[in-house]
Amino acid sequence: MAVNVAIYLVVCATPPLLFWLASKAPAVAAALRRRREPAPAGLPIERLAADLRRVHRCLEDLAPDAPMLRRRATHQAYDALLVQACAALGLPHWLDELPEGVERDMERLRVEESLRRAGLVVP
């Protein structure tokens, strides 16, 4: 008798269970796909380009008698954005290795040109 009840329960419970599992399969597959897709690192490239243009305008608008602290901070902000843009596009740079001075200014110009060649609109 107990065997018959067990068989009856298996026969009655299996189809609804299989239909329920089939209805959940697309959601499970989508969750697994989302988990495998790598999340983008850093800011979107459009945002980086806009920030580069904005900070470059700030550099151009600095008065000649602006405090040295403001001048250095603006240059550092611009260099940090250039480094992020290079990382986003996979371009080499040496901005964070060079000391302040002529070498770093030349590297800044080289990086700007390589970003332009990669298609990023920078001033």
Position 37 scores a pLDDT of 61
Position 120 scores a pLDDT of 87
**What proportion of the chain, given as a percentage, has pLDDT over 90?**
48
Please say whether the beta carbons of 51 and 81 come within 8 A.
yes
Please say whether the beta carbons of 85 and 113 come within 8 A.
no
Tokens of 50: 């806009």
Distance in angstroms (rounded) separating the CA atoms of residues 11 and 81? 65
Position 38 scores a pLDDT of 65
Position 20 scores a pLDDT of 81
pLDDT tens for the chain, 123 residues long, are 777 777 877 778 788 877 787 888 888 788 777 776 666 667 888 999 999 999 999 999 999 899 999 999 999 999 999 999 999 988 999 998 889 889 999 999 999 999 999 988 887
Position 113 scores a pLDDT of 93
Please say whether the beta carbons of 74 and 58 come within 8 A.
yes
